[in-house]
Amino acid sequence: MYTSLLLQIVVLFGLLGTVSAQPVVFINATIHPASGPVIPNGTLVMDKGRIVSVGSAVQQPESAVVIDCQGQHLYPGFIAPATTLGLTEIDAVRSTNDVSEIGSVNPNARAEAAYNPDSEIIPTIRSNGVLLANVTPTGGLISGMSSIMRLDGWT
């Protein structure tokens, strides 16, 4: 399963690393658009590095490279899987470092309570296409609970 997913990611970035002369069509995917409901068995068409159309009944260009994404999910941006984003600002300044708690067993540590949505690092990460981050405390046997954070939020 993971090998298949890794292979698809490598192929995807290999195809999209440079702007392709041919359109690329992803079929049979569960598509999570930025706005609107989830589209099961959807089709996404990209041309010249841009998303051209998304839906369940989308016309495919004749010269397109077709990638079957059966059982896979497509999102409109990257998801950072295990980060300390927003939990630390400057490592040398202890008051800005909420990555870990004292002791080795801290099930009470919650990333959403320590998360800093005003971190100077977040705009840099967002400008590179990361829309969500799984913010995770570190250290110890039990580090605490992680949280999925939308990087475009505010308080």
Mean pLDDT per 10-residue interval, the chain, length 155 residues: 49 52 92 90 89 90 92 88 84 69 81 85 88 88 88 71
Please tell me whether residues 135 and 85 are part of one structural domain: yes
* Residue 66 sits in the same domain as residue 111: no
Are 53 and 101 in a shared domain? no
Last residue of a domain, one of 51, 75, 99: 75
Of 38, 58, 75, at which residue does a domain stop? Answer: 75
57 in the same domain as 28: yes
Residues with Cβ within 8 Å of 142's Cβ and at least 6 positions away in sequence, in order, are 104, 105, 106, 107
Tell me the chain's radius of gyration from C-alpha atoms.
Answer: 19
**What is the domain extent for residue 29?**
2-75
pLDDT digits (tens, 9 = 90+) for 52-93: 999 998 998 988 999 999 999 998 888 898 888 888 777 666
- What confidence score (pLDDT) does residue 113 get? 83
| Pair 38, 66 in one domain | yes
Question: Residues near 150 by Cβ (< 8 Å), separated by ≥ 6?
Answer: 131, 132
The one-letter amino acid code at 35 reads: S
pLDDT for 155 equals 56
What are the strands, taking DSSP E only, across the chain? Answer: 24-31, 39-47, 50-55, 65-68, 73-74, 78-83, 130-135, 147-150
Domain end position, chosen among 52, 75, 98:
75
pLDDT attached to residue 116: 85
Residue 111 lies in a domain: yes
Which of 145, 148, 147, 149 is CA-nearest to residue 106?
Answer: 145
SS3 of residue 78 by DSSP: strand
Predicted model pTM: 0.56
Residue 30: its pLDDT value, please? 95
Q: Please indicate, yes or no, if residue 155 is contained in any of the structural domains.
A: no
Tell me what pLDDT residue 96 has. 66
